[in-house]
């Protein structure tokens, strides 16, 4: 486990943030967390946003450090090989607060304005999930710690998908304005090229 150093006032007090970074990256063929986009590692890009907004940030499934490692803990996945649901299960157990934002490590254009839109609508539902273009984004969502027991049940079943999890929860959906790029994730070489092209034309961080 790595530790954080700096402390400043959080933009979203009372919330943890977790980054799922333990995927196999089978389509990309390399460890996504370390892939550079615009000269910065994907994980560093995500953490640069989260560490400025949350006082508790947990990275699941990646034990390597980061240049953005202030206030960051690196935690091994308790259920390796079981996909993002396993990472979510681990993260909800490791988070300091009862509600946690969950994102993937492969979202290079995550931004604080989108997080503000999401968390401003968060209430008492099991999960508050971003939606872009009518599509739920289970890896841009806030989950309550009580969801951990549901995740465990699904991990022991044949349905280990995040969409299956959402079907088992009470969910508040939040339609995100101009959220397409904030939710954009890197899964293939073509996605990498799209991201670099977006940056060349002035988008992103």
- How far apart CA 74 and CA 60 sit, in angstroms, is 6
- To the nearest whole percent, how much of the chain has pLDDT over 90? 69
81: pLDDT strictly greater than 70: yes
Answer with the residue of higher pLDDT: 94 or 202: 94
* pLDDT above 60: residue 68: no
**pLDDT (tens digit, 9 = 90+) per residue, 181-191?**
888 999 888 99
pTM: 0.89
> Between these two residues, 166 and 180, which has the higher pLDDT value?
166
Among candidate residues 61, 144, 140, the one with its CA nearest the CA of residue 97:
144
Instruction: State how far the Cα of 68 lies from the Cα of 157, in Å rounded to an integer.
Output: 37
With b for 16 or more beta-carbon neighbours within 10 A and e for fewer, the 92-102 pattern comes to: bebbebebbbb
What is the pLDDT, as a whole number, of residue 89? 97
| Cβ-contact 100, 91 below 8 angstroms | yes
Query: Mean pLDDT of all residues in the chain?
Result: 88
**Of 3-7, 84-88, 101-105, 139-143, the least confident:** 3-7
Give residue 2's pLDDT: 35
Q: What's domain 15-200's architecture?
A: Alpha-Beta Complex (3.90)
pLDDT value for 203: 75
Which of 17-31, 93-107, 112-126 is the least confident region?
A: 17-31
**What region does 39 belong to: left with phi over 0, alpha with psi -120 to 50, or beta?**
left
Residue 153's Cβ-side half-sphere holds a number of Cα atoms within 13 Å equal to 9
Confidence (pLDDT) at 7: 43
Res 121 pLDDT > 60: yes
């Amino acid at each position: 486990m790595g530790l954080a150093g700096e402390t400043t006032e959080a933009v979203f007090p009372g919330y943890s943030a977790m980054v799922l970074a333990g995927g196999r990256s089978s389509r990309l063929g390399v460890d996504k967390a370390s892939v550079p986009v615009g000269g910065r590692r994907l994980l560093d890009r995500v953490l640069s946003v989260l560490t400025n907004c949350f006082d508790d940030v947990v990275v699941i499934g990646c034990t390597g450090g980061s240049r953005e490692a202030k206030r960051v803990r690196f935690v091994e996945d308790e259920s390796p090989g079981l996909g993002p649901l396993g990472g979510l299960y681990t993260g909800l157990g490791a988070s300091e607060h009862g509600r946690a934002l969950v994102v993937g490590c492969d979202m290079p254009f995550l931004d604080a304005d989108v997080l503000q839109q999401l968390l401003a609508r968060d209430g008492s539902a099991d999960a508050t999930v971003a939606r872009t273009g009518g599509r739920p984004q289970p890896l841009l969502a806030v989950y309550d710690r009580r969801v951990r027991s549901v995740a465990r049940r699904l991990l022991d079943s044949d349905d280990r998908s995040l969409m299956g999890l959402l079907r088992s929860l009470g969910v508040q959906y939040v339609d995100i304005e101009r959220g397409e790029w904030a939710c954009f994730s890197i899964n293939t070489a073509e996605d990498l090229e799209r991201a670099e092209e977006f940056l060349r034309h002035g988008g992103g961080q």
